[in-house]
């Protein structure tokens, strides 16, 4: 038998007795997949939101008249280790709501004194003299009180920007009713009653504002801040019934459709010669649309103008008690959207962190069947993953809960169908021509937005830690 010498290794190799696979592949038809794309996700938010037509590109949300109650947050900024209140943010205090004298607000902001407290330190103590306004510039604290049977109770969890003591500035409170204790290292800013009075003595507009607040009773409103509807119940006989009407907001919120666009370019040589067994233009378009849909979901969550994270009412935001997402925290979140909650939305790592907390307590939540998919659930409300919810450098994130649907006064997605050259509902692909380099261009566009119809349709659990070890 003739032997050959391998040119690369110099080893003697026997002559082949049949055609090798490397040569045979030249005559074979390769089995191939369509182009794959790693960052395609399930996009549960796009699938779960009820989509409403926004004709004219704008969707107006009419509501009952709501009186401003203050949003509970005073924004602070820092320069190095020096923290200060943003003067304009003081108009968020109920006493100063709508007060726009910049010079007076700046004078008040300069009078705040900074104090750093450690975990477990008392910020204000029940029964102690209430000496001013306290702003929690950074950190997390618990407001503690006494339950009906004398046992300690957690009344609230406070975080960045929340404050205590507005009635103190009004002269309506002399001592602290509850104890507030730091859960983490906190930076606290305090405006004393004396400093406030000194500024008021030199500012006639502020004095008039304080007197008007003391003299005029607050407009009648319900627990949600809406103008009260006068009703009578439980009466007998022929009594005079109250007259009433339902007032509306004069400047309701309008949501304009946002756009995500790109120009897809395909060379005519590729489109003409390389279309077997797959259409090159179709595959390019498919992957481009997948990218646009991912961008669309990201915008619905994160856009600063209409995104869910930035448009949740501040009174609908709750904080974790100790960082990790516990069953107690999820129940607290459910209490913000208690009217027919539809689903939770969380980063996959937040779902894993919640699972660890359940396992630690010996709890094994039931799953929910959603279109044939078994998904985690809490209290019967499904918990869907969404990697568009950001995770901070400190490994914290947020969990969303919403009520969906226009008939439920919930959260709705906004789009417009029937577009020129519509390729999918709400998405158009328009031919833009062929340039002098023989490149075909297509404009791919999708229009979208999202709107919570009432504030309690959306709740957010903030400061969710992902890496808490026990």
Condensed to tens digits (0 to 9), the pLDDT of residues 196-246 reads 989 988 888 888 888 887 776 665 666 666 777 777 887 788 888 887 777
Sorted by where each starts, the structural domains of the chain and their CATH numbers stand as: 51-55+257-465 (no CATH), 76-215 (2.60.120.10)
Task: Please give the torsion angle defined by the CA atoms of residues 111, 87, 91 and 318, in that order, rounded to the nearest 10 degrees.
Answer: -90
Which residue in this structure is represented by tokens 């009520």?
403
Residues 308, 313, 317: CA angle, nearest 5 degrees: 90
**Tokens 């400190």 — which residue?**
394
- Residue in this structure with the two tokens 């040119």, named with its chain if needed: 7
| DSSP codes joined into one string, 322-374 | SSS--HHHHHHHHHHS-SS--EEEE-HHHHHHHHHHHHHTT--PPEEEETTEE
Q: Provide the token pair at 432.
A: 């833009």
Residue pLDDT tens, the chain, 470 long: 455 555 555 566 778 888 788 888 888 888 888 999 998 999 999 999 999 999 999 999 998 876 655 556 888 887 767 888 988 888 888 888 878 888 899 999 999 999 999 888 999 998 899 889 999 988 889 999 887 777 888 888 888 888 998 888 887 888 998 999 998 888 999 999 899 989 988 888 888 888 887 776 665 666 666 777 777 887 788 888 887 777 778 888 999 999 999 999 999 999 999 888 889 999 999 999 999 999 999 999 999 999 999 998 878 888 898 889 999 999 999 999 999 999 999 999 999 999 999 999 999 988 999 888 889 999 999 999 999 999 998 899 999 999 999 999 999 999 999 999 999 999 999 999 999 999 999 999 999 999 999 999 999 999 899 976 65
- 3-state SS class at 19: coil
- Give the single-character DSSP code of 175: B
Predicted local confidence at residue 448, as pLDDT: 96
**Radius of gyration from C-alpha coordinates of the chain:** 31
Q: What is the pLDDT of residue 48?
A: 94
Q: What is the pLDDT of residues 435-470, one digit of tens each?
A: 999 999 999 999 999 999 999 999 999 989 997 665
pLDDT at 396: 92
pLDDT score at 1 = 47
Chain centroid offset of residue 356 CA: 23
Backbone angles phi, psi at 296, to 5 degrees: -60, -45
- The pairing of strands 381-385 and 343-346 is parallel
- By the 8 A CB rule, do 201 and 210 touch? no
H or E, element range at 4: strand 3-5
pLDDT for position 204: 87
The pLDDT of residue 73 is 80
Structure tokens of 360? 């630690």
CB 254 within 8 A of CB 59: yes
Residues counted in the chain: 470
């Amino acid at each position: 038998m003739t032997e050959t010498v391998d040119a690369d290794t110099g080893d003697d190799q026997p002559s082949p007795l049949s055609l090798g696979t490397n040569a045979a592949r030249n005559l074979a038809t390769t089995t191939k997949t369509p182009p794959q794309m790693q960052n395609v996700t399930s996009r549960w938010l796009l699938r779960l939101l009820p989509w409403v037509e926004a004709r004219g590109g704008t969707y107006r949300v009419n509501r009952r008249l709501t009186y401003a109650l203050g949003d509970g947050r005073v924004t602070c900024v820092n320069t190095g280790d020096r923290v200060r209140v943003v003067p304009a943010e003081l108009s968020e205090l109920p006493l100063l709501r709508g007060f726009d004298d910049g010079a007076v607000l700046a004078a008040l902001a300069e009078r705040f004194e900074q104090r750093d407290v450690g975990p477990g330190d008392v910020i204000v103590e029940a029964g102690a003299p209430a000496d001013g306004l306290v702003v929690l510039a950074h950190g997390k604290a618990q407001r503690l009180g006494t339950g009906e049977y004398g046992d300690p109770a957690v009344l609230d969890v406070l975080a960045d920007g929340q404050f205590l003591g507005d009635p103190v500035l009004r002269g309506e409170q002399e001592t602290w009713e509850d104890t507030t204790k730091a859960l983490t290292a906190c930076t606290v800013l305090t405006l004393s009653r004396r400093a406030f009075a000194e500024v008021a003595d030199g500012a006639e507009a502020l004095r008039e504002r304080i007197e008007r607040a003391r003299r005029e009773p607050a407009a009648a409103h319900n627990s949600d801040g809406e103008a009260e509807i006068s009703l009578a119940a439980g009466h007998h006989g022929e009594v005079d019934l109250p007259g009433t009407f339902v007032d509306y907001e004069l400047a309701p919120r309008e949501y304009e459709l946002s756009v995500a666009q790109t120009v897809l370019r395909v060379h005519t040589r590729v489109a003409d010669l390389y279309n077997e067994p797959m259409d090159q233009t179709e595959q390019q378009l498919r992957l481009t649309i997948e990218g646009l849909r991912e961008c669309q979901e990201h915008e619905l969550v994160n856009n600063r103008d209409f995104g869910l994270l930035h448009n949740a009412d501040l009174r609908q935001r709750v904080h974790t008690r100790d960082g990790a997402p516990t069953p107690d925290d999820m129940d607290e979140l459910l209490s913000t959207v208690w009217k027919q909650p539809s689903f939770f939305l969380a980063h996959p790592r937040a779902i894993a962190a919640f699972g660890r907390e359940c396992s630690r307590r010996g709890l094994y939540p039931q799953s929910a069947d959603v279109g044939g998919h078994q998904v985690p659930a809490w209290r019967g409300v499904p918990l869907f993953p969404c990697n568009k919810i950001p995770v901070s450098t400190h490994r914290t994130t947020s969990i969303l809960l919403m009520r969906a649907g226009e008939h439920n006064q919930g959260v709705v997605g906004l789009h417009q169908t029937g577009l020129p050259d519509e390729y999918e509902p709400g998405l158009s692909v328009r031919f833009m021509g062929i340039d002098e380099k023989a490149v075909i261009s297509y404009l791919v566009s999708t229009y979208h937005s999202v709107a919570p119809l009432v504030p309690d349709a959306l709740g957010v659990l903030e400061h969710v830690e992902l890496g808490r070890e026990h």
